[in-house]
Amino acid sequence: MVSPVDELISPDAPDWFRRALHIPFFDEYVEVNGTAVHYLAWGEPGRRGLVFVHGGGAHAHWWTHVAAPFSRQYRVVALDLSGHGQSGWRDQYSLEQWADEVVAVADDAGIEGDPVVIGHSMGGMITIATAAIHADRLAGAIVVDSPVTEPDPEIGHAQAGRAFGRPKVYPTREEALGHFRAVPPQAHYLPYVMHHVARRSLREVDGGWSWAFDHHVFSAFAGSIRAVALPYLPEVRCRFALLRAEFGLVTPDIGESMYQRLGRNAPVVELPEAGHHGMLDEPLVLSTAIRTLLADWDHSLPRRAPD
């Protein structure tokens, strides 16, 4: 008999990927300001914790193959932000509301002490806000290719809304899967990762199948999506690292600007050969970078920012 997990794994997937997807997890929910927030949980409660935060229009399972193997040492969770995946939808969304959801999930998941939060793209911006608003609740923050910079009129709320658009309804699951795309697009993807992520991205609706996110989530960005976390960068006080994809959205100039706003006190590390969606094209590079940072933070003292 084929297990439900095996049905989500492409026949050409390598052994490391298969092992990661077979690590047991639990689907959990916690109510945050009137909305049910879903999260995945791996590993034993009572351990130090990692919280993984996905990007806009994505969901918790974008992280599964990267996050699950960390459960050998940590209590690991990955949440569906409200408006995404299996979480409830809201009338309005904001960076601050999502930051509250990150902390609420960490509290509910049985993590010992303060977690390290790891966020990708929009999830990185939420991670920055969480580190600033809930400064005493995080042990560290790792941001993956989140371009935080001055307002850019060419990359704003309207463009983000157009990129994702109103989710279409497809008559069959197979037709929907044929239209799965990452936004923004990039040159390279691992087909077996896309196979899994796409099959976790659908929900059944009236008339067929559609994508599991609320297209109104981009109402959280009244101006430029790249500037929304800008005021929070100087307020970050926990350990912090920026992982910059070589072929991603955080250019060297943006990385340098973020480094300066962080008080020249956070490493900016390039992920070689990675596009913006590192978990879709270079997941082992991304995982190694995260592991290296966590190991270093375990065996070093924080460096004080210059006055």
Beta strand 49-53 pairing with 116-120? parallel
Q: Reduced to 3 states, what is the DSSP secondary structure of residue 135?
A: coil
Taking residues 199-212, what's their average pLDDT? 95
Q: Could you tell me what percent of the chain has a pLDDT over 70? A: 92
Peptide bond into 184 cis (omega under 30): yes
Task: Tokens for 149, please give them.
Answer: 């910079």
For position 304, what pLDDT does the model report?
Answer: 65
How far is residue 181's CA from residue 173's CA, in Å, rounded to a whole number? 15
Is-above-0.85 flag for pTM?
yes
Q: Check: CB of residue 265 under 8 Å from CB of residue 237.
A: no
The whole-angstrom separation of Cα 265 and Cα 35 is 36
What is the pLDDT, as a whole number, of residue 225? 81
**42 has pLDDT over 70:** yes
Summarised one tens digit per residue, pLDDT across range 291-300 is: 999 999 999 8
**93 pLDDT more than 90:** yes
pLDDT computed for residue 30 by the predictor? 98
CB atoms within 10 A of CB 44: 11
Is 2 a residue whose pLDDT tops 60?
no
Domain spans in the chain, listed from the N-terminal domain onward: 6-297
Which CATH number is correct for 6-297, 3.90.1150.10, 2.40.30.170, 2.30.30.30, 3.40.50.1820?
3.40.50.1820
Closest by alpha carbon to 110, among 55, 38, 49? 49
Residue 201 is predicted with a pLDDT of 97
Whole-number average pLDDT of the chain: 92
Q: Check whether 116 has a pLDDT greater than 80.
A: yes
Q: For residue 95, which of 235, 211, 203 has the smallest C-alpha distance? A: 235
What pLDDT was estimated at residue 161?
A: 53
Is the confidence at residue 3, as pLDDT, over 70?
no
pLDDT at residue 65 above 50?
Answer: yes
Does position 158 have pLDDT exceeding 60, yes or no? no
Model pLDDT, residue 253: 96
pLDDT confidence bin for 152, thresholds 50/70/90: low
